Amino acid sequence: MNHNPVFLALDLPRLDAAEALARKVSGHIGGIKLGLEFFCAHGHHGVHELHKLGLPIFLDLKLHDIPNTVAAAMQAIHVLEPAIVTVHAAGGRAMMEDAKAAAGENTKVVGVTVLTSLDDDDLTAIGVKAGPQEQALRLAELAQSAGLDGIVCSGHEVGAIHKQWKDGFFVVPGLRPADSGNGDQKRIVTPRQARDDGASVLVIGRPISRAEDPLAAAKAIEATL
C-alpha cells in the first residue's frame, strides 16, 4: 500500500476557487482538508461538491462542547462520510469517548492538543499551569486513553509520540518542502521527514495553494514521498 498521505488544506474563501484548485492537483494528493472557515461558509453543500472529486475528506472542525452536543454534531456530519474529523482533547474524556462512539466506522477521530497559537502566557491566563509541551503530552495521553484514533501534532514531536503510541494515527501540519526557500533549513520539517517519523497524514496548504504552479508543487512533494 503506497497511497499518498498528503491532504491539501483548502483554506480558500471561495468555493469555486477551492474546487478548481483541488481538481487541478487531484491526481497528486491523497485527500482534502476542509476547515471551520470553509464549513461555516459552504456547509454540507460545499463538502458534497468537493466529494465529487472522489478524494477522502478531512473535516477539521475542532469540535469542543458538552459530550451530548459533540456526539450529535458527529452524527449530523455522518452523511458527509468524512475520513477524518478533529475534536479538542481539552473537551475531556467523556466528550472524546462520545465523539468516537458517534462517529462512523470509517471515520478517524483525532484530538487537537494545544493550538500552536497559544504560548506560556496564554495558558497561564486560562489557568493552565503546565507549559504548551507538557500540556500537549498530557492531552495526547488522555486522547489515547479515551479511545481516539490519534492526535494532531507537529513534525518536531511526531517521532517521539509515535514511539509511545505505536498504532496511533498522526496528523501533521506546518510542513515545508526542502526547496521552499526557507533560509532556516534546520528547523523546518519536510513532508518526507514527517512521514519517516510516523505521520499518517501530512497536511499541506500554502506550499501548494500559493505556489505559482500548484500542480508542479504537488507533483514535486509527491515525488519526495
Q: Give me the residues that bind ligand C5P (CB under 6 A), please.
A: 9, 11, 35, 116, 173-174, 203-207
Q: Which residues pair with 34 in a beta bridge?
A: 59
Cβ-contact 153, 136 below 8 angstroms: yes
Can you tell me the distance from the alpha carbon of 215 to that of 26, in angstroms, rounded to the nearest whole number? 9
Cell 509511545, residue? 164
User: Which residues carry out catalysis?
Assistant: 62
- Of 52 and 206, nearer to ligand C5P (C-beta) is 206
Cβ-contact 152, 86 below 8 angstroms: yes
Cell 449530523, residue? 76
- Of 40 and 66, nearer to ligand C5P (C-beta) is 40
Strand, helix or coil for residue 145: helix
- The H-assigned helical ranges of the chain are 15-25, 36-51, 67-77, 93-102, 120-125, 132-145, 158-164, 191-196, 206-209, 214-224
Q: Using CB positions, name the residue nearest to ligand C5P.
A: 205
Q: How far is the CB of 84 from ligand C5P (least distance, A)?
A: 13
Q: How far is the CB of 101 from ligand C5P (least distance, A)?
A: 25
- Residue 92 DSSP class: -
Cβ-contact 13, 37 below 8 angstroms: yes
- Of 40 and 101, nearer to ligand C5P (C-beta) is 40
Q: How far is the CB of 100 from ligand C5P (least distance, A)?
A: 21
